């Protein structure tokens, strides 16, 4: 459902503005860049988009997932490959071996968490946390901002993005009904 809601550019721009504290008003400036089947299996990233030289990857998680930095590394690699191919379709191989610097969009990784496990309002996951041999200054780092959107958390963010707030209210209703009904009926009652 998260992917469906935020595939709409107007909703996505509202979320972008809330996350970044900005006030952009033209959703047509967003370029949605979803990855389907991003990791060999039938796995898809939720929402990725290009906006003002920033490539944002937004994921929604209802369970705690310490592997998000690794997943995002795979996603961003595929996004950059696609970006290079689109920027220089006639000479893709030559463009990255050129003596001139190829500029790429700045990445931003955000996970919106609304699982049942208690988590802080905001925290960061790092790719280096997964390294078998920890080092002080890793040669490769990727940081993911995790934002808890459960009831009572990040109220300022939810106030800034009405559609995200409504999504959270919907999820909370499903959870409430799930205590007494099957998942199908809980979803139906929450929608009603």
d(CA 91, CA 107): 24
Residue 14, pLDDT > 50, answer yes
Count of CB atoms situated within 10 Å of the CB of 66: 11
CA distances from 186 to 39, 75, 136, 150, 182 (A): 31, 33, 48, 18, 6
% residues pLDDT > 70 (the chain): 91
Higher-scoring residue by pLDDT: 89, 175: 175
Residue 192, pLDDT > 90, answer no
Cα dihedral 79→37→27→4 (10° resolution): -160
Burial group, residue 47, by CB count within 10 angstroms (0-12, 13-18, 19+) = buried
Residue 38, pLDDT > 60, answer no
pLDDT band at 1 (very low <50, low <70, confident <90, very high): confident
The pLDDT, as a whole number, for residue 56 is 96
pLDDT tens, residue by residue, 46-89: 899 999 999 999 999 999 999 999 999 999 999 998 888 887 76
Residue 101 backbone dihedrals phi, psi, to 5 degrees: -70, 130
């Amino acid at each position: 459902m998260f992917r469906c809601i935020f595939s709409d550019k107007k909703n996505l721009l509202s979320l972008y503005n809330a996350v970044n504290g900005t006030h952009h008003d033209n959703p047509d400036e967003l370029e949605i860049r979803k990855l389907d089947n991003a990791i060999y299996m039938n796995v898809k990233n939720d929402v990725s988009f290009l906006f003002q030289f920033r490539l944002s990857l937004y994921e929604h998680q209802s369970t705690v997932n310490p592997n998000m930095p690794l997943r995002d590394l795979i996603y961003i690699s595929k996004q950059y490959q696609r970006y290079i191919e689109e920027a220089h379709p006639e000479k893709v191989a030559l463009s990255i071996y050129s003596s001139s610097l190829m500029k790429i969009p700045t990445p931003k990784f955000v996970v919106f968490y609304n699982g049942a496990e208690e988590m802080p309002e905001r925290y960061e996951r790092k790719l280096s946390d997964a390294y078998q041999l920890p080092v002080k200054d890793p040669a490769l780092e990727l940081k993911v901002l995790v934002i808890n959107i459960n009831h009572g958390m990040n109220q300022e963010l939810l106030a800034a993005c009405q559609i995200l707030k409504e999504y959270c209210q919907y999820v909370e209703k499903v959870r409430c009904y799930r205590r007494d009904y099957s998942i199908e009926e809980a979803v139906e009652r929450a929608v009603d």
